[in-house]
Chain A
Amino acid sequence: MQYVVITYLFLSILLYFLLGGADFGAGIIELVTSKRNRNKTRTISYHAIGPIWEANHMWLIIAIVILFVGYPRIYTTMSLYLHIPLLAMLMGIIARGTAFVFRSYDAVKDNMQRIYNRIFILSSCITPFFLGVIAASAISGRIDTNADTFLSAYIFSWLHWFSIAVGFFTMALSGFLAAIYLIGEAEDDNSRRRFIRKTRMMNIAAVIFGVLVFVAAWVEGIPLTHWIFENVFGLSAVTLAAISLVILWVFIYQGHTKIIRLLAGFQVTMILFSIGYSQFPDFIIIKNGINLSLFNSGANDKTINALGLALLAGSVLILPFLGYLLYSFQKQPLSANPSPEG
């Protein structure tokens, strides 16, 4: 059961990164789209993310619940030392979720829309940034359980070059995922070309920030290269990601929307995998202390068993339903579903 729970934990984190990332990325794409084309982009991304955004956001809740039920020490350590970035991410989640709904359900479409849009875009950037910061802080070894000053306990635990670089990297990846996703949603050639341009832009940004992540890790003395490149799995994961990136571009120009989505998802999965594998089973690296791992911080067996059963039973209920939802809304012409009013 231990492994069932761990699998679900990683799966939900991965899915949140992928689906939630694409979802937040839509706001980032909106930001980098020129004023002239914004409306068009917005309509398309509405259509694309409207029906599923609630479900995306659920992966985060699942991950949190698994952590606090199954791995209370990990959950509490994170919420103690990473209080501030978590808070920032929460604010982003609140603002973004509500702005999205408000702007589509406001009965009157007037100037308020502009305000909703601003909030939507801003929070779409904040959330993935801090998500990256939090993930980076968990493995950067700056969480100090013996810290005795406010700064060392609650600020330096997450504020350093490495986490900032990872934050930007996460933003770029989100934008990349969204752009790829939107290529498949575009109806006319113009929009398609526009999204391809955005994909290229985000791809370049991701590469630049990716390099910066390594630089920052080196500056901060975090053995990132060692973690990733000194084992077969990490090395091959990164290689596969790089190769698939090349293939991805070939397919983009050929217009295979399904394949490029899969490939983009595959790349992000490989990136997460390479880092996750090098750390496993450690989850939080503690400065001068015993790291919190999925094996040393788990709850008692009975709880883990019950949690695993709940997850399995839940999946049996949920998956067919979710699959049908995604399937039903896959290939619908834009005109068929202008807005949720129907």
Chain B
Amino acid sequence: MDDFLAARSQMALSLAFHIIFSCIGMVMPFFMAVAHYRWLKTKKDVYKNITKAWSKGVAIFFATGAVSGTVLSFELGLLWPKFMQHAGPIFGMPFSLEGVAFFIEAIALGFFLYGWDRFNKWFHWFTGLVVGISGFLSGILVVSANAWMNSPAGFDYINGQYVNIDPIKAMFNNAWFSQALHMSIAAFAATGFAVAGLHAFMILKKKNTAFHGESFKIAVMFGIVAAILQPFSGDLSAKFVAKTQPAKLAAMESLFHTQKSAPLLIGGFPDVKNKKVNYGIELPGMLSFMVYEDFNKEVKGLDAIPEPDQPPVAVTHYAFQIMVILGICMFLLSVMYIIALLKKRSWLGTTWLLKFFVAAVPAGFIAIEAGWTVTEVGRQPWIINGYLRTVDAVTPMPGISYTFYLFTAVYISLSFVVIFLLHRQIKMVPVLYDIPGKIKAV
């Protein structure tokens, strides 16, 4: 494997791994806080058990998220030294604030995990909430750093030098808001669906319905609200991409030719050589409408971009399609769930609905990985959009393919251990928290 490809793959692998753990680590504390709140209010043991079971999950994910994040902060330099040399001082601001947020998060987690029955119960509850809030803030901050790579701001580029640096402007670049919004909602949607689905599975198996039923209710609430908001925020993201990164938009939509009243493409296989798309469904004018709110506006195609600056079309397009399809499925499932609630049907009885939730366990996370692929691959060949090429940023050290294999092995084994642990955690639920009793329908 050539070193450049290996470096990119290693970066992508580490990020793809980190993002799963960090999403769960930033969202689960909120679920926990809700369960904890109910326990404090109602004194029903089931809520206490849920809180404790989840808090163990949070600890596992937090630690894995923290180490994989530490690895990333080194890897940025190990793999992309020339990028960091220029970019560090410009886009470092969110990272320094993120450090503060992480710190608070770790301290609050210490209080929370080891503080049962030691502190005032509301103070203890509050520390749990602080874990969530600071995790959430760090997510937003780091995404704003990534947004800077897509939409660089806060410096002047004169004779190959980055001068007049303004880290605050860099942080509030054009893309930060839409990306941070979309990512935060995505984290809630993905984690909510995954957790709800796992508990739905246990309900279907008729194990500890009381425990799993209450857990399901909490997780699914977060999940559906986020999943319903997600397409709207995605639409906003697309508008921003159109404004700041026309090449990425063209690749996402496989729009080879600049045209007025551009069509929205659904599915299809882009044929890059012949610059056309096979078997796609085109909705005329819809793309123009989506990004400019005007059916006739012109949308830039790939032909407006010099050949060496074009991103890989096929990967970007497929990844975008996957994300959108999953997003729509999650949206529909959420709407169905709400209808079921409104009709006051017992969702415990509607097994088919629960089965859908079980099927949707991985959906959100697949969409997240796909979404990041759109963002990152769609930015290629640039690492700092329009300023620095990825090839020029890679480390000159040879042999990166070996470190890539090493990381792959480590990450695969870690994933296995985490799955194994969670499996055990779930298996132990009857032993640790066996409480008889049924819950009624919502």
CA distance A113 to B145 in the complex (A): 39
**Does B70 sit at the interface, judged by CB under 8 A?**
yes
> Which residues of B have CB within 8 Å of A150?
398-399
Instruction: Produce 1/0 per residue, B149-193, CB < 8 A to A.
Output: 000000000000001011110000000000000000000000000
A69 and B89 contact, CB distance less than 8 A: yes
> Which residues of B have CB within 8 Å of A98?
63-64, 67, 414, 417
**Does B346 sit at the interface, judged by CB under 8 A?**
no
CA distance A275 to B64 in the complex (A): 35
A325 and B85 contact, CB distance less than 8 A: no
A105 CB, nearest partner CB in chain B, Å = 5
**Does A93 sit at the interface, judged by CB under 8 A?**
yes
**Does B104 sit at the interface, judged by CB under 8 A?**
yes
**Does B403 sit at the interface, judged by CB under 8 A?**
yes
B85 and A101 contact, CB distance less than 8 A: no
B147 CB, nearest partner CB in chain A, Å = 17
A70 CB, nearest partner CB in chain B, Å = 7
Whose C-beta in chain A lies nearest to the C-beta of B118?
A: A328
CA distance A97 to B168 in the complex (A): 34
Which residue of B100, B403, B425 contacts A310 across the interface (Cβ within 8 Å)? B100
CA distance A57 to B73 in the complex (A): 13
A68 and B92 contact, CB distance less than 8 A: yes
**Does B95 sit at the interface, judged by CB under 8 A?**
yes
Tally of B interface residues using CB under 8 Å: 71
B107 and A70 contact, CB distance less than 8 A: no
Asked, given contacts A54-B62, A98-B414, A314-B100, whether A299 binds B67 with beta carbons under 8 Å apart, the answer is no
> Which residues of B have CB within 8 Å of A79?
74, 77-78, 81, 84, 395
B70 CB, nearest partner CB in chain A, Å = 6
> Which residues of B have CB within 8 Å of A65?
73, 92, 95-96, 98-99
Residue among B66, B109, B163, B425 facing the most chain A CB atoms (10 A cut-off): B66
CA distance A125 to B107 in the complex (A): 26
**Does A10 sit at the interface, judged by CB under 8 A?**
no
Q: Which of B372-405 contact A (CB under 8 A)?
A: 395-399, 403
B74 and A54 contact, CB distance less than 8 A: no
**Does B103 sit at the interface, judged by CB under 8 A?**
yes
> Which residues of A have CB within 8 Å of B108?
321
**Does A32 sit at the interface, judged by CB under 8 A?**
no
Instruction: Produce 1/0 per residue, A57-90, CB < 8 A to B.
Output: 1101110111011101101101110010011001
B84 and A68 contact, CB distance less than 8 A: yes
Q: Which of A19-64 contact B (CB under 8 A)?
A: 50-52, 54-55, 57-58, 60-62, 64
> Which residues of B have CB within 8 Å of A58?
99, 102-103, 106
> Which residues of A have CB within 8 Å of B168?
306
Q: Which of B103-126 contact A (CB under 8 A)?
A: 103-104, 106-111, 113-119
Tally of A interface residues using CB under 8 Å: 63
CA distance A139 to B71 in the complex (A): 24
CA distance A54 to B103 in the complex (A): 9
Asked, given contacts A54-B106, A314-B99, whether A68 binds B77 with beta carbons under 8 Å apart, the answer is yes
CA distance A311 to B99 in the complex (A): 9
> Which residues of A have CB within 8 Å of B424?
106-108
A51 and B417 contact, CB distance less than 8 A: no
CA distance A299 to B104 in the complex (A): 26
Q: Which of B33-72 contact A (CB under 8 A)?
A: 52, 56, 59-60, 62-64, 66-71
**Does B290 sit at the interface, judged by CB under 8 A?**
no
> Which residues of B have CB within 8 Å of A52?
110
B88 and A318 contact, CB distance less than 8 A: no
CA distance A287 to B70 in the complex (A): 29
B107 and A325 contact, CB distance less than 8 A: yes
**Does B86 sit at the interface, judged by CB under 8 A?**
yes
**Does B339 sit at the interface, judged by CB under 8 A?**
no
**Does A295 sit at the interface, judged by CB under 8 A?**
no
**Does A330 sit at the interface, judged by CB under 8 A?**
no
Whose C-beta in chain A lies nearest to the C-beta of B52?
A: A341
A72 and B88 contact, CB distance less than 8 A: yes
CA distance A116 to B146 in the complex (A): 35
Which residue of B84, B106, B432 contacts A72 across the interface (Cβ within 8 Å)? B84
CA distance A87 to B81 in the complex (A): 15
A57 and B89 contact, CB distance less than 8 A: no
CA distance A60 to B73 in the complex (A): 10
> Which residues of B have CB within 8 Å of A178?
none
**Does B438 sit at the interface, judged by CB under 8 A?**
no
B99 and A154 contact, CB distance less than 8 A: no
CA distance A313 to B64 in the complex (A): 28
**Does A280 sit at the interface, judged by CB under 8 A?**
no
CA distance A51 to B73 in the complex (A): 24
Which residue of A76, A101, A310, A328 contacts B60 across the interface (Cβ within 8 Å)? A101
CA distance A303 to B167 in the complex (A): 6
B105 CB, nearest partner CB in chain A, Å = 9
Asked, given contacts A55-B103, A340-B113, whether A69 binds B85 with beta carbons under 8 Å apart, the answer is no
List the 10 closest A-B pairs by CB distance, nearest first. Answer: A69-B92, A79-B77, A342-B116, A299-B89, A314-B100, A72-B88, A101-B63, A54-B106, A107-B428, A76-B81
Residues of B within 8 A of A (CB): 52, 56, 59-60, 62-64, 66-71, 73-74, 76-78, 81-82, 84-86, 88-90, 92-93, 95-100, 102-104, 106-111, 113-119, 163, 165-168, 395-399, 403, 406, 410, 414, 417, 421, 424-425, 427-428, 432
The 6 sampled A-B contact pairs (Cβ below 8 Å) are A57-B106, A107-B421, A300-B89, A300-B165, A328-B118, A340-B114
Besides A76-B84, A303-B167, 13 new A-B residue pairs in contact (Cβ under 8 A), listed by A number: A51-B110, A60-B70, A62-B99, A65-B99, A68-B76, A69-B93, A75-B88, A78-B77, A79-B77, A98-B414, A107-B425, A299-B89, A342-B117
